[in-house]
Structure 1
Amino acid sequence: MTELTKLTLAAALDGLKAKEFSSREITQQFVDAIEGARTLNAYVVETPEKALAMADASDARLAKGEGGKLEGAPLGIKDLYCTKGVRTTACSNILGAFTPTYESTVTQNLWDEGAVMLGKLNMDEFAMGSSNETSRFGNVINPWRRKGDNQGLTPGGSSGGSAASVAADLCLAATASDTGGSIRQPAAFTGTVGIKPTYGRASRYGMVAFASSLDQAGPISKTVEDSAILLKAMCSHDPKDSTSLSVETPDWRSDVSKGVKGMRIGIPKEYRMEGMSDEIDKLWEQGIVWLKAAGAEIVDISLPHTKYALPAYYIVAPAEASSNLARYDGMRYGARIAGENLTATYEDTRAGGFGAEVQRRLMIGTYVLSSGYYDA
């Protein structure tokens, strides 16, 4: 049998629709591949029985000529998305073995279109990290290696499990999320394609919150076309998310085929900073050459406030995290470490449940929100 795990999402969907192979066949190959690649630590929950049952249901619909836009396609889901009946912890001890009784809007959209869930993917704890080393389940290993060197490399973060699983052919594509680079950076580290869409395009309902004004759902996949397909299925207007955009979702897949001819593309001078390595500088130049060759007009522009981006992020993100993560008190759900009294229970639960990086950001956020700092 052809190695179906090597297919792009677009090719797999075409093959399923043409009945060249079944959803059960491709799903079983992914289940086997995941079992054989556990050293990468990309998955924190494997759901083979659920996946095969969903695949069988997809095959039944496909046999009738029915099915959604993702019918029968096996996907990986970042552990940030609540999945009904499947453990969701944002890779933090504070959530213990929390198993949601509801589905996030994004994942529900995927299931409504016929997608198959292979399992939950590793990530930095509460999406706080850029190397996937803060997860309670340990770090993810990048499937790529340096030439002549077998040393394990980071896949980036926080969506390290999503990027590594796509790069290693452990799913056709994966959901991810981006608060300060958590889709774009791991995609760059693994040779995959990631998109951080416009804020509000995809609902945040059912996503474990980090910084609510910055968190955005998006895809990681093998190709630009695949990301366009998955993103369209993920996006929708959602009354359960007050920031959800009530706008029509474009057909991004057809837009991809149009290319960039005639577009004016700005290149910010501030993005080529002092100390940039020669290798990266050459790649930057190569990208400009490719865009010109494809018919785009390149315009030099300036974004003078770029230097304030990181300082602004480290005010807004920790402050919102401090507020959002206050809900983890050991009382309503997740882990609890009982203390001598209520205050001690709060303190022990949060000290034992949150990892060092999360604690650091929470303390920064609490300080930022303090009256003295606010006045300053």
Structure 2
Amino acid sequence: MTDTRILSARIDTPPANTIPTEAFTLAASPAEAGQRVDRFLAGGIGTLSRSRVKALIEEGHVSRDGLPMTDPSEAVRAGATYVVAPPPAAPATPQAQDIPLTILFEDKYLIVLDKPAGLVVHPAPGNQDGTLVNALLAHAGDDLSGIGGEKRPGIVHRLDKDTSGVMVVAKTERAHQVLSATFASRENLERSYLALAWGVPTSPKGEIEAPIGRHPTDRKRMAVVARNGKDALTRYVTERAWGTGCALLRCRLATGRTHQIRVHLAHIGHPLVGDPVYLKRVPSGSRGLPMPARDALLAFPRQALHAESLGFPHPVTGENLRFSAPLPQDFVELLTLLDGNAT
């Protein structure tokens, strides 16, 4: 049992163009002597991850009895006083851009939003701006307390550029740490997607369990692989079907691999409508669809995948939260056309 005490926590006055930061002073008891100092400090503070504390030590922002420390693995000394003084969070490299967002929920710890199709989550080569991160910096920049020493939103999970639906983003380092752990462990996490797939699965509901890794010859794609893949499990239920041509599936993720639903459905012969990467051949069952419906499916400009709902415990209060987002207009119009042209 530990009796770590935070003796003080002050708010430093930051330089211009930065945000305030807390400095923590902790005293080590005899019971805590001998453990790694980065573990001790992270546990005592509670709002900084161990990796963040380790980086602060290596960067010279932690002292013991007034002397700077540089070794995160150093053993804690009984009776010593440790001061952790993170530097003010620097402005994020991405620039704030006023991009409209549909916010489903927001408090001082997190934001839940309905991401539109076509919006890239994070700046990357080819998409340096106009991303969700740019939009979030404009929407909540003043409320971001700094993650990893940078004033930025904490991306907990991603949706592909052309996938729409519910996402959660952290506003504080502690929220980011807890939410990331929740997504990694899958404990009390619920993620449900609606997917319009070519063909109709033989069984109206089932499980697709197949390891996913990088494609052996195309490193930009994922694939079901025999070696060096990560376990992946997708559960699906057929919500609606239009002859043998296509089906609307509700998919629930038991794991969270890159492109998991897209890869798994393509693997069983039912690739997503409009998928530019994993749709290589339209299943023969689609030939039974009336031409207007089949033409509309073939012309759909993105993968027909929507993150319908997301449930998780609040990272600070522990309250069970659940959010849902309606299908976007282009998806709704496609289903309406199918109802009017396919029986």
**Please, what TM-score do these two structures have when normalized by structure 2?**
0.30
**Please, what TM-score do these two structures have when normalized by structure 1?**
0.28
* Structure with a larger share of its residues in strand: 2
Q: Which has the larger radius of gyration?
A: 2
